[in-house]
Structure 1
Amino acid sequence: MAGRVKFGVVGLDEMLHGGLLRASICAIVGTYGTGKTMFALQFAYEGLNRGEKVIYISLEEREELLRATMAQKGWDAKVFDDRFSLLRLDPTDFNLAINSIKSELPALIRSTGATRVVIDPISLFEGLFTDESIQRQEMFGFIEMMRDEDCTLVLTSETDVRDQNGSKYGLVEYLADTVILLRYIRSPGLTEVHLALEVVKMRRSPHSREIKPFEIQEDGIMVYSEASLF
């Protein structure tokens, strides 16, 4: 289980002291427009480029839109079709979404030999449970189930509308080993808006605690790990 998994985002791997810990769970938390899906896709594509097998589960974007985004970035996902499982689940179909994630995902991981798994966004899965106690129980159970699998898991989550520093339901940041928070930072004169990133926590590893600017560029993401915001 030892070792590092490169995230594949320039600057972020430096902030993570070489990457995520292998077989750990990472949550990417951010408000709309901060690039959560782009970070998740970059993580998946890095794995494919390294010869790994990847499962990407989308609860929001249609498969063709995700593939179009990858093609726009110059990433030819079709080259990796034998190692890339891209699944679109409809969160409005409660039973299908629950059973697919809870019952079928472990078997899919083992049958494909996937070492990277993405669920984008996990907050839609959380939202399927209207009772708070059941929601908590299901999320704890899901995370424990995933810890038995030999893969590195990345989850994306929207922020809480009342707290831009926390996830929508306030659970995933406590369950994950690593939490990466994406946010908007406005300049003191309110003349500029920047995207910024913070590694809020990383269990069992040192990591940067600074808030760093980043850009979503034509071919990927660049985190300016040596720069200051203003």
Structure 2
Amino acid sequence: MNGDDEQRVQFGIEGLDSMLSGGIFEGSICSIVGTYGTGKTTFALQFIYEGLKQGEKAIFISLDERTEMIHRDILRRGWDLDTYLDKSLFVIKLDPTDFTVAVNQIKDELPQLIRSVGARRVVIDPISLFEGIFTDESTRRQELFRFIERMRDEDCTLILTSETLQNNPYASKYSLIEYMVDTVILLRYIRPSDLSEVHPAVEVVKMRGSNHSREIKPYEILKDRVQVYSEANVF
């Protein structure tokens, strides 16, 4: 099948969806990679909320923030949490420091949970904490590959956020996830030569089977939404 004939899933971020030629493919896996403060979680929540508005069920798994912090972030944006929480939206906090529990929950229990609630959109925020559970690089690569392949059997579209490498804002923390997913969205800061102001910018680095914008575009995190200015240029 021609990729352009496949069903698209929108983020609900107008400028970003246009950069993605209408959205990511339904059932695909996308990674949002960015350094601290770039809004990875906010982009992921916007993706979840767009699905909820369309009547879909969603799961948001946090390996970092407490569930009440996620709830607070949703409410702060003026989104209707009460309508969805524990009905069509399920927010789950996992503790990545408990090795055995975290690995089993993510690898074994998550697929079962997705099927039991009928979730069409799933977020893991951030996947880099799951990667960090494995201290051996070979094991990390193997376990991440197995997880990705297992998730491809589920009837959902998956977003994985990832921190960047400490000294490289263009690569994920372990430089693995971008090779295994279908779409990579990079969030970063651009600093003008005069250092007068920092501009957050988004780039679609990779999108298998689809045309996509290769331009770097500015964005802004507003109170109730993310706004990507797809017609503007970053200076």
Which has the larger displacement, 91-100 or 31-40? 91-100
Shift of 1:10: 2.2
Task: Tell me if 1:73 matches 2:77.
Answer: yes
What is the CA–CA distance in structure 2 between the aligned matches of 1:164 and 1:217, rounded to whole Å? 23
4+ runs deviating over 2 angstroms: none
What is the CA–CA distance in structure 2 between the aligned matches of 1:13 and 1:105, rounded to whole Å? 27
> What amino acid sits opposite 2:176 in the alignment?
L
What is the CA–CA distance in structure 2 between the aligned matches of 1:223 and 1:74, rounded to whole Å? 19
Query: Residue 161 of structure 1 is aligned with which of 146, 163, 166?
Result: 166
Name the residue aligned to 1:53: 57
Name the residue aligned to 1:22: 26
What is the CA–CA distance in structure 1 between the aligned matches of 2:197 and 2:90, rounded to whole Å? 39
Name the residue aligned to 1:214: 219
What is the CA–CA distance in structure 1 between the aligned matches of 2:54 and 2:148, rounded to whole Å? 26
Name the residue aligned to 1:172: 177
> What amino acid sits opposite 1:36 in the alignment?
K
TM-score for both structures, normalised by structure 1: 0.98
How many pairs align? 230
> What amino acid sits opposite 1:100 in the alignment?
Q
Shift of 1:78: 1.8
| Secondary structure, aligned partner of 2:14 | coil
What is the CA–CA distance in structure 1 between the aligned matches of 2:42 and 2:89, rounded to whole Å? 16
What is the CA–CA distance in structure 1 between the aligned matches of 2:119 and 2:43, rounded to whole Å? 19
After superposition, residues 127-146 of structure 1 pair within 5 angstroms as 127-146=132-151
> What amino acid sits opposite 1:95 in the alignment?
T
Identity of aligned residues (%): 63
Q: Which runs of 5+ in 2 are unaligned?
A: none
After superposition, residues 56-205 of structure 1 pair within 5 angstroms as 56-81=60-85, 82-205=87-210
**RMSD between aligned alpha carbons?**
0.9
Shift of 1:76: 1.6
TM-score for both structures, normalised by structure 2: 0.96
What is the CA–CA distance in structure 2 between the aligned matches of 1:40 and 1:61, rounded to whole Å? 13
> What amino acid sits opposite 1:51 in the alignment?
G
> What amino acid sits opposite 1:9 in the alignment?
I
What is the CA–CA distance in structure 2 between the aligned matches of 1:34 and 1:167, rounded to whole Å? 14
Name the residue aligned to 1:32: 36
Shift of 1:85: 1.0
What is the CA–CA distance in structure 1 between the aligned matches of 2:172 and 2:125, rounded to whole Å? 13
Shift of 1:96: 1.2
Shift of 1:225: 0.3
Q: Which runs of 5+ in 1 are unaligned?
A: none
What is the CA–CA distance in structure 1 between the aligned matches of 2:103 and 2:82, rounded to whole Å? 28
